[in-house]
């Protein structure tokens, strides 16, 4: 009986050690896969942003060719709206337009408008700075570029506007809100103006267009900073800084993502600085949670912006 009890005790100790080892290995594996997943999805959205920003300001020049269709103008005939007035600010054709601390496609969202929009003040906004829009994710960017289709004799020259913006999202189970976070969306519009028209308008119902497609969830912050050839910050809002809109030579893209659920990798009361790498935010945002985070920073050079007004 004594030998059996000793054997059971030793077996229990060995099983406990094996279970503890398995738990450590499994947690490590889960953490690695979560980090890889966040980084992979982050790289996907960065690739999209880089492709679109590099197209900013592109204009097609048809020129004159032998046996060419003379009905097609040599160069872009489309109306160009500066966007520096109240009447044109929503239709701006500037290559890159950045609205700081702006949620949604066409509105500036603060804690008050969040409460009106969703019926409550999201915990996403720091309670100590509830009226400070600097604490609200994220920036919004518009990228405008041209294209050409010789088969479309009605409107051979094309102009597109791509917009990246963020919106708050609530995840519910039944009637209970179990999570609140931000998500990034993308829209694409086309400027409609035939050869015979002197004015046009942005439309979202073309074959290539789409409205508010979800790109990435669980975004903590998304920041865009326009820079000139000397690396100085440019206010990329034509209503406030029209004379420098064509001086933009690159855009810094700064993104912060988090995991979809708490993973328990950190101590419960451990503080993590979320926006430590951002330059345009007023200060760093310290949070207490158990989410895994990943920061991405890239500089995208604009290839087709130059000259002046």
State the pTM of this model: 0.78
| C-alpha R_g of the chain | 26
Average pLDDT, consecutive stretches of 10 residues, N- to C-terminus, the chain (309 residues): 81 82 69 64 84 93 66 86 85 93 70 51 46 64 93 91 89 75 91 92 91 87 92 92 92 86 57 48 56 84 77
pLDDT of 131 reads 46
Q: Do residues 3 and 258 lie in contact, with contact meaning Cβ atoms separated by under 8 Å?
A: no
pLDDT of 66 reads 59
Q: Do residues 225 and 254 lie in contact, with contact meaning Cβ atoms separated by under 8 Å?
A: yes
In angstroms, what CA-CA distances link 15 with 19, 236, 255? 6, 63, 44
């Amino acid at each position: 009986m004594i030998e059996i009890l000793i054997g059971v005790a030793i077996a229990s100790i060995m099983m406990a050690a094996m279970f503890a080892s398995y738990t450590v290995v499994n947690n490590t594996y889960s953490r690695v896969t979560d980090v890889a997943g966040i980084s992979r999805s982050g790289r996907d959205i960065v690739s999209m942003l880089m492709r679109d920003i590099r197209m900013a300001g592109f204009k097609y020049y048809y020129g004159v060719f032998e046996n060419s269709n003379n009905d097609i103008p040599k160069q872009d005939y489309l109306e160009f709206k500066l966007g520096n007035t109240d009447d044109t600010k929503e239709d701006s054709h500037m290559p890159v337009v950045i609205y700081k601390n702006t949620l949604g496609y066409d509105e500036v969202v603060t804690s008050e408008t969040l409460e009106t929009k969703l019926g409550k003040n999201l915990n996403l906004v720091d309670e100590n700075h509830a009226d400070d829009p600097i604490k609200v994710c994220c920036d919004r960017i518009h990228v405008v570029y041209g294209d050409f289709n010789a088969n479309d004799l009605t409107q051979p020259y094309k102009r597109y506007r791509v917009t990246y913006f963020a919106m708050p999202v609530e995840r519910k189970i039944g009637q209970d809100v179990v999570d609140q976070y931000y998500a990034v969306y993308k829209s694409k519009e086309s400027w409609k103006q035939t050869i015979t028209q002197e004015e046009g308008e942005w439309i979202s119902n073309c074959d290539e267009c789409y409205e508010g497609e979800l790109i990435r969830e669980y975004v903590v912050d998304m920041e865009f900073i326009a820079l000139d050839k000397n690396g100085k910050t440019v206010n990329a809002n034509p209503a406030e800084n029209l004379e420098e809109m064509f001086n933009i030579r690159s855009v810094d893209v700064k993104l912060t993502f988090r995991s979809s659920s708490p993973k328990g990798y950190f101590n419960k009361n451990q503080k993590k600085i979320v926006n430590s790498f951002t330059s345009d935010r007023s200060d760093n945002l310290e949070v207490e949670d158990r989410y895994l985070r990943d920061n991405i920073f890239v500089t995208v050079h604009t290839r087709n912006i130059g000259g002046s007004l």
